[in-house]
Structure 1
Amino acid sequence: MRTNLLRKAAPLILPGLLAFAAAPPPHKTKLYLIGDSTMANKIRATFPETGWGMPLGTFFDTTVVVDNRAQNGRSTRTFLAENRWQPVAEALQPGDYVFIQFGHNDESQNYPDRYTTPEDYRKNLIKFVTETRSKQAIPILLTPVTRRYFDKDGRIKETHVLYSAATTAVAKDYKVTLVDMDKLSRELLQKFGDENSKLLFMELAPGDHPNYPLGRHDNTHFNELGARKMAQLVVADLKAQHIALAEEHMAKPLPKNAVATPTNANAQPTTP
């Protein structure tokens, strides 16, 4: 009896099993991050320092793969000179994304090994953009995240004037989606205030963490909370600009207060 039932069912079951076995895996969108230490992956010895690129993948579903190529201490010039960009450019596939955020080290005139003039910074950004597009991938430009500096009246200072302006100009001239993280991060820190904004950065008293027995006072690099807040700003702004990456591949809805007003009203929405 059982044998007869199996024989009768086989013609119905077998095609379904074959179709399941032959089904292609779901398409994966690759998201490359190129930039500096504020975005980069960190090693265990520097924990709790966290680049905002590290938690970024948690905002997306499993169809998005984040490949974080950002490196500590790199400017646009040194990122190119060390051949860190070329492997990314060669690997790009149509529909991939490249998040491009530099500026901190480009503007460091006290460090001639990494300093880049605003003119050369602009040229380097254009290179990243045009070579990304040549592979039918999608560039996203981001202004550098702010440093935590307040004036005596408790107002956050603007710390990347020339390089944020250069990034914004390239985005406008080449019709690239822009996330103005300089502005967005300053607004966030202003809401936190001078004292509470320390909760987002590597502000450690002696004995707070075994990796920093003497403490650390760092107004540039984020801890875990700060990195996640910055990543949330990025995703919320892309969603506000109706960018497909943020609208179609979210792991779960963002909190209502996370959805930002678009910072790049003139940009053309881009889709893969």
Structure 2
Amino acid sequence: MKLTFQFSSLLLLALALVSFTADTKEPITVFLIGDSTMSVKEPKAYPETGWGMPFTAFFDETVTIDNRAMNGRSTKTFLSENRWQPVAQNLKKGDYVFIQFGHNDEVKTKQSYATEEEYVQNLTRFVKETRKKKANPILITPVARRKFDAAGKLEDTHAIYSELVRKLAKKEKVCLIDLDRKSQELLQAWGPETSKLLFVHLQPNEHPNYPAGKVDDTHFNELGAREMAQLVLAEIRNLKLDLARRIVVPAPKK
């Protein structure tokens, strides 16, 4: 009887250890690479806020968010300025790279301009080099600009470059977060006037950083950044990424 009790105790202990090991999460890093709509802002730019800033609060202590996004950058300049290479070098198995460019790639008058072919080529490089390290690339379409026509319909300002991302995701079998479409739906739902509350719209002397005021329909304030980050979080859940197991923010009730 004593031996049976000891065996049962050992068996239960072994099962508990196996269960503990299975539930243990290895620390991972989620790298964010992209442009100003995602980046961390200096205090002098407030209330302008990149969606990558509130994004850090969504995950448990096993996740480190390393936001490498930078104002004015495109896939082209992210490479030419040696911003991607340190990310690729530091990737480890199980990490994630969230890749969101397009705002600056698509503007022909900017030095950051990348042709459609260059854009796809550069995104492909990010994907392949991420996978080479057994990490997880996530392609994200560029977030929508606030631009309504006279009838109150939001205009699709990223149509060409967003579609390139969608096609590449399908070709390379990469998880896609279609932030362009999701953010368009959100802005359309808020409407031409109320959607101003998500962006940097300031009256003169309303904020010390912008004494002359500011009207910016590309960059978010804190509220807008949180709303966009929530869209990304919802897609992480919808895609059933392993990263979703590490989310600490409750899913909204339907």
SS of match in other structure, 2:53: coil
Deviation at 1:26? 6.4
Taking every aligned residue pair, what percent have the same amino acid on both sides?
A: 57
CA RMSD of aligned residues (A): 1.3
Aligned to 1:226: 224
Deviation at 1:254? 2.3
SS of match in other structure, 1:141: strand
- Residue 236 (structure 2) pairs with residue 238 (structure 1): yes
In the alignment, the residues of structure 2 paired with residue 241 and residue 33 of structure 1 have an alpha-carbon distance, to the nearest angstrom, of 18
Aligned to 2:102: 103
Aligned to 1:60: 59
Q: Give the gaps of 5 or more residues in structure 1.
A: 1-24, 258-272
In the alignment, the residues of structure 1 paired with residue 159 and residue 218 of structure 2 have an alpha-carbon distance, to the nearest angstrom, of 16
Letter in 2 for 1:250: I
Q: Any residues of structure 2 matched to 1:43-192 within 5 Å, and which?
A: 43-111=42-110, 113-192=111-190
Aligned to 1:256: 253
In the TM superposition, what whole-angstrom CA distance separates every residue of 1:180-231 from its partner, at most 9, and x where no partner exists?
0000000000110000000000011111111100000000000000001000
SS of match in other structure, 1:234: helix
In the alignment, the residues of structure 2 paired with residue 253 and residue 187 of structure 1 have an alpha-carbon distance, to the nearest angstrom, of 22
In the alignment, the residues of structure 2 paired with residue 150 and residue 127 of structure 1 have an alpha-carbon distance, to the nearest angstrom, of 35
- Deviation beyond 6 Å, 4+ runs, structure 1: none
SS of match in other structure, 1:123: helix
Letter in 2 for 1:212: Y
In the alignment, the residues of structure 2 paired with residue 190 and residue 251 of structure 1 have an alpha-carbon distance, to the nearest angstrom, of 29
- Aligned residue-pair number: 232
Deviation at 1:252? 2.7
Letter in 2 for 1:47: Y
SS of match in other structure, 1:256: coil
In the alignment, the residues of structure 2 paired with residue 239 and residue 27 of structure 1 have an alpha-carbon distance, to the nearest angstrom, of 19
Which has a greater percent of helix?
Answer: 2
Q: Give the gaps of 5 or more residues in structure 2.
A: 1-23
